[in-house]
A and B are shown apart, each in its own frame.
Chain A
Amino acid sequence: MSKVVVVTSGKGGVGKTTSTAALGAALARSGNRVCVVDFDVGLRNLDLVMGAERRVVYDLINVANGDAKLAQALIRDKRVETLSLLAASQTRDKDALSEEGVARVVAELRGLFDYVLCDSPAGIERGALLAMRFADEAVVVTNPEVSSVRDSDRIIGLLDSKTLRAEQGHRIQKQLLLTRFDAGRASRGEMLGVADVLEILSIPLLGIIPESEEILRASNVGAPITINAATSQAGRSYEDAARRLMGETVPMLVPGEKKSLLNRILGRRAA
């Protein structure tokens, strides 16, 4: 059974595209057929983060408007063979995407893939609403920071009212992916903690991704972190989140919870 998952947040710059690429690659590496779809028309970036920016010929709008076949527009990943990308259009204006067109593309993708990950643009405009429109599930990407949490709350409201599933009276599963988390700062009371964000947004937790230098390194070279640095802390956190998305039960570790220098010295002495 095919699952359509929207990766959304409301606020920009919180890690939607990075997370779409990382989760998509992790799901594909576990043997799933995965397509990551960029809905950010005019400001596409998933192709760049995936390292496929020079291979884009046809895009989502071409397929939605019937100017190209889906098979012509899908870009097969060179590292993971079960992973494909459908890029957004860089030149057309964002109103070029029609709901009927997106409905047709998503329906066709369902027939070809186990997971379709829709990378939503920021904001609550047409592109963001179309990205979530046909989703079965949502990953809400949030930073432990007031403006991100507020915008995520708004997006959760839209997921519950503007998606096709919600309109048909079904529940849409929403899970929180807390990104750029710094356990040290949270423990010192400088940053909202995991429990704080969970209590405020009251949706289940999909994963906690630590603030990590590896993320930038991965996007620099155009490889999802779950391919480029799968064993790094952030890479492992994304792997765990992907396994939870597949329905596995994986213990939730708070990444980067470092022992203080004093504890480390004492710990070493005791050992």
Chain B
Amino acid sequence: MSLFGLFKPRAATAPVARERLQILLAHERVALGPDNLIAILRDEILATIAKHVEIAPEAVKVTMGQQGAVSTLEIDVDIPTEKITASLARQMPTKAVA
């Protein structure tokens, strides 16, 4: 450490804390909020698919993101090919990203 370093004010860390919190809480409020939107959506999507195809609960992934002013909802469903009957296979893609 140079002698000048002793007198140089240290970089402010509070703005970093503030920004990290704002980003984190924006995500957590959506995921853990009172409505728990993601969990509800996930359960309902799973129930709808399960009516037609045998599916593991972990196969449905719902994530919500935010880029600037736009919120995106991403639904990712993995369905094993062998579980789909021939007729369903023609109508439904194996992976749907909305």
Residues of A within 8 A of B (CB): 145-146, 149-150, 153-154, 157, 160-161, 166, 186, 188-193, 196, 200
Contacts and interface: CB of A to CB of B under 8 A. Distances in A.
Given A190-B10, A190-B12, 19 more contacts: A146-B21, A150-B21, A150-B28, A153-B25, A154-B32, A157-B29, A157-B32, A157-B33, A161-B34, A166-B34, A188-B12, A190-B13, A191-B14, A192-B17, A193-B14, A196-B18, A200-B18, A200-B21, A200-B25
A165 to B, nearest CB: 13
Contacts of B25: 150, 153, 200
B28 A153 contact: yes
Contacts of B12: 188-190
Interface string B3-23: 000000111111101101110
Nearest to B11: A189
17 contacts: A146-B17, A149-B21, A150-B25, A153-B28, A157-B29, A157-B32, A160-B34, A166-B34, A189-B14, A190-B12, A190-B13, A190-B14, A191-B14, A192-B17, A196-B18, A200-B21, A200-B22
Chain A contact residues, majority secondary structure = helix
B24 interface: yes
Interface of B: 9-15, 17-18, 20-22, 24-25, 28-29, 32-34
List the 7 shortest-distance A-B pairs measured between CB atoms, nearest first. Answer: A189-B12, A161-B34, A196-B18, A189-B14, A146-B17, A153-B25, A192-B14
A146 B24 CA distance: 10
A189 B11 CA distance: 8
Nearest to A145: B17
Contacts of A154: 28, 32
Contacts of A150: 21, 24-25, 28
Contacts of B14: 186, 189-193, 196
Contacts of B34: 157, 160-161, 166
B93 to A, nearest CB: 36
Contacts of B28: 150, 153-154
A196 B17 CA distance: 9
A153 B18 contact: no
A188 B9 contact: yes
